[in-house]
Amino acid sequence: MQQPLLKIIDLKKYYRPQSGGFIRSKQLIRVLDGVSLSIYPGEIVGLIGESGCGKSTLAKSILGIEEPTAGEIQFAGVKIQPCAGNSKSNVCRQIQLIFQNANLALNPMRTVGSLIAEPLIAHRILSRESAKEQAKKLLIDVGLHEINYSDLPGELSSGQRQRIQIARALVLQPKLLVADEPFASLDLQTTSLLIDHLLEFKRKFTLSYLIISHDSSLILSICDRIFIMQNGRIKEAALQIHP
């Protein structure tokens, strides 16, 4: 039987809010309240829920940015530990994030090519020259051109900036991409093009996806299974979309 790539077991994240005078309230805020789900290799899983339901906290927990109060997250059978900002942990490198807002995710003062090549250099995987060549290759893979290497993010369209984000995420050859509202700022035509790219990358790079969204119609059109989240809990079990 195939083992899950990602396995989340009874995950909880509680906060104790501060009230007036910096005295902590006795009542806990249950951001994640016993979340369990699995993602299998090559699978696209959707997570649907309204703003504030805990979707982004779950994504940060998977990426090792948030430390859960209780429960466990396993990636390829290994428990995920909180990752430092520049962690060289293999697990941290195997999971990458596509942000909702590419404008905030991409440094406007850095060239497109340097943004894509940076993780390879930071992790000491390739030399600067080899990282530059790999960045140019990825630009072509995501439907752009080598000449875009020297562009600044602000010189590109919103759809092109999202593709730069994807190229930057792919450069470390991850197994799982977590996409947090990746279509929110895009028009229908650009969204359709980006979906085509995501499906192509799934086949080409043997990727799995967790796509987080409040747009159920988009999730239903591309995901193998979906989970519906409400108030920090999975309210409905996985729904098989494509047999």
Residue by residue, pLDDT tens for the chain (243 residues) are: 688 999 999 999 998 776 655 555 567 889 999 999 999 999 999 999 888 889 989 998 998 888 899 999 999 988 887 665 445 567 778 999 988 778 888 999 999 999 999 999 988 899 999 999 999 999 998 889 999 999 999 999 888 898 899 899 999 999 999 998 888 777 888 888 888 888 888 888 889 999 998 877 778 888 889 999 999 999 876 555 544
239: left (phi over 0), alpha (psi -120 to 50) or beta: beta
Sign of the CA dihedral 10, 241, 184, 163?
A: positive
Cα–Cα distance measured from residue 136 to residue 155, given in angstroms and rounded to the nearest whole number: 17
Which pLDDT score is estimated for 65? Answer: 85
Which pLDDT score is estimated for 185? Answer: 72
DSSP code, position 89: -
Beta-carbon contacts of 146 under 8 Å, excluding residues fewer than 6 positions away, are: 136, 139, 140
Reading the block at residue 57, the tokens are: 């906290």
Which pLDDT score is estimated for 100? Answer: 78
Which pLDDT score is estimated for 33? Answer: 93
Q: Name all domains of the chain by residue range, CATH numbers in brackets.
A: 6-240 (3.40.50.300)
Residue that has been written with the tokens 């098989």 in this structure: 240
Reading the block at residue 77, the tokens are: 């059978």
